[in-house]
Amino acid sequence: MRNIRGFGKEIALGFLPVLIAFLIFAGMPALPLIMGALMVAAIFMFARSRGGLAMSAAGKKPSAREPDYMSFEDIGGQEQAKRELSEALEFLVQRDKIEKLGIRPMKGILLTGPPGTGKTLLAKAAAHHTQSAFVAASGSEFVEMYVGVGAGRIRDLFKEARNLAVKQKRDSAIVFIDEIDGIGGKRDGGQHREYDQTLNQLLTEMDGIQGDEKVQILLIAATNRKELLDPALLRPGRFDRHIQVDLPDKTGREHILQLHARNKPMREGVSLSRVAEETFGFSGAQLESVMNEAAIYALRAGSDRLDSEHLSQAIDKVMMGERMDRETTHEERERVALHELGHAIVAETVRPGSVAQVSLTPRGQALGYVRHHPRKDSYLYSKPVLEEQIMIALGGSAAEEMFYGGRSTGSRGDFEQATNIVRTLIESGMSGLGIVHPQALTQEQWSKENEAILSELTDRTRKLLADSKLAFEQLLDTLIQEETLSGEQLRSKLQHAS
């Protein structure tokens, strides 16, 4: 058939010059005929090119596949999210019981939370928990410049889910769309016809999910930015459940570390509980990276087991970045050491036991750093706690002033951190301004209150460091020679100096 079509095109192309020659011979003007022929040919080629591109774009289908085996027991640190998701999936597991109670089938579940917290893993585990067919796609797969292509892919996605369920002889299917904000963002009334049509088609498909269908479809979507989604997508009857997938707490972090340590030989005495303490704020993906990087460090060292030093190096790499080979002068090295000791001494004074390590190893953009570990996870902060954080941030510049009489550009990030905490104090009603709406403050009022808070806390920080000047001198040589100082070494020196 393709050969016949190609042969017909060749006949048409051969006949066109003959026709033009005959018309010229019959007395018609040559220039209009030639121009008209060129225009027809150009229009034909443009339409053919666009049609081919559109067909090619429409031909890309989201991936339908059997997910890697994943159960809820294989996911750590998300007990609340797993419990909520399991309860929401009961209408697929116990369909007869749900129908007897007259409960409307659930159409969509939205997983929201920071990156790397396990939203995709939860969707895979949901498919195995309910013994459902599984189709996965990303929001970016539906975005095209040609109107109607994204909507067509949405239809193909749900059609593929039904066909896959029939093929696998299952009565339910789960459609998972990652980064759904790529197609489900708020509509602003502009001329984004492709985006609007794609979102409208998704809404139509969700409205068409009925409980009496042979194959029950459940849409699970994930996003890091729920606030950007269109209200029509979030209303009940579409996404009936919104499940928050947060960063894990200490117990969750330890569970995740244990899961990723199952295939890694650990040296006796290694405490994953301690690693969990030192990784406050880490996501599940970051914790997996910590275990993987620790294994790489063990391989580089020629060790057949992971020990505490490998894990400590891995935490530093995931938190701060790869170690950099930067040559610094003796004066720069000494200034950096004093700067970091300023942070560490203030931290140990206001929060005993909070410093894990002081290092002069350049990582990322930092020439040195202090690694802290909280004794317990905190989610609410009082005024004294925020003031302590500001003093710790100001400790580096205060130490430089005490020994050099001035600051350096190394304090820039510290000042940015301090001013952000001051903003939190003011917006939380814990400043001298009292409870006030931030927009009601003028720039002059902001600046005046910011200066007053920072000035008071800077004076407190300077006095604190002045009382610890002897400890600076004892710790400086050790830090410069060994490049790293453990929290235990720091605390021991501070006790002897006092």
- Active-site residues, by number, are 340
8 Å CB contact between 217 and 105? no
Residue appearing with tokens 């269109």: 230
Alpha helices in 213-359 (DSSP H): 231-234, 250-260, 272-278, 284-300, 308-320, 330-350
C-alpha span between 167 and 188 (Å, rounded): 41
8 Å CB contact between 421 and 386? yes
Q: How many CB atoms lie within 10 A of CB 403?
A: 18
72 HSE (CA, 13 A, CB side): 15
Burial class (CB in 10 A: 0-12, 13-18, 19+), 304: exposed
Burial class (CB in 10 A: 0-12, 13-18, 19+), 346: buried
The DSSP element (H or E) to which 486 belongs, if any, is strand 484-486
Q: How far is CA 207 from CA 187, 200, 304, 374, in A?
A: 19, 10, 56, 47
Angle at 130 between CA 124 and CA 131, to 5 degrees: 85
Alpha helices in 89-135 (DSSP H): 90-93, 95-100, 119-129
Q: Maximum CA pair distance of the chain?
A: 113
C-alpha span between 64 and 436 (Å, rounded): 53
C-alpha span between 158 and 354 (Å, rounded): 52
C-alpha span between 322 and 143 (Å, rounded): 35
The DSSP element (H or E) to which 181 belongs, if any, is helix 181-184
Beta bridge partners of 177: 137, 221
Beta bridge partners of 133: 173
What Rg do the C-alpha atoms of the chain give, in angstroms? 32
Token code pair at residue 413: 């990030």
C-alpha span between 393 and 139 (Å, rounded): 40
Which has the closest alpha carbon to 277: 371, 368, 417, 343? Answer: 371
Token code pair at residue 205: 């498909």
- Sequence-distant (6+) residues with CB within 8 A of 474 are 493, 496, 497
8 Å CB contact between 358 and 429? no
